[in-house]
Structure 1
């Protein structure tokens, strides 16, 4: 019998901001991961604007599935 250790596919769903940041940057402290992740979003051309157009508010605590799809489209899967 052959066994594989495939990682489960990344699901496009609603994620908490810190939760998604930790998936991209698991080696960092959660606050550092979120700060770095926000920096990535700000530096990727057009991503911040696209997220705002998709309804992301400055005080939002979660990304919607549509926003997660934009992030993954820009940054790739975590």
Structure 2
């Protein structure tokens, strides 16, 4: 028997991706949940670099490659290209 605290299968399906600030490791792990965080970040960065124009668009929003997080606007750009995790 399910308790009130547990989401039903329908509730899980209805859950939508939240456009908010994410740590780089946190966002990478949403896309690549089955590998270690640093490996996920490395692979995620390669995806960003390989996506035509994405890195340039992110830099235009003020992204610093050394920053540890993405702004909601940067997350939206990433999801436009890579789709929702």
What TM-score, normalized by structure 2, do the two folds share? 0.85
What stretches of structure 1 move > 6 A for 4+ residues in a row? Answer: none
When the two chains are superposed, the root-mean-square deviation of aligned CA atoms in Å is 1.5
TM-fit CA distance, 1:7: 5.0
Q: Match for residue 50 of structure 1?
A: 57
Give the Cα–Cα distance (whole angstroms) in 1 for the partners of residues 45 and 39 of structure 2: 10
Structure 2 unmatched runs, 5+: 1-8
SS of the equivalent of 2:17 reads coil
Higher gyration radius (CA): 2
Q: Match for residue 37 of structure 1?
A: 44
Give the Cα–Cα distance (whole angstroms) in 2 for the partners of residues 38 and 52 of structure 1: 13
Structure 1 unmatched runs, 5+: none
Give the Cα–Cα distance (whole angstroms) in 2 for the partners of residues 28 and 44 of structure 1: 21
TM-fit CA distance, 1:58: 1.8
What TM-score, normalized by structure 1, do the two folds share? 0.92
Q: Match for residue 84 of structure 2?
A: 77
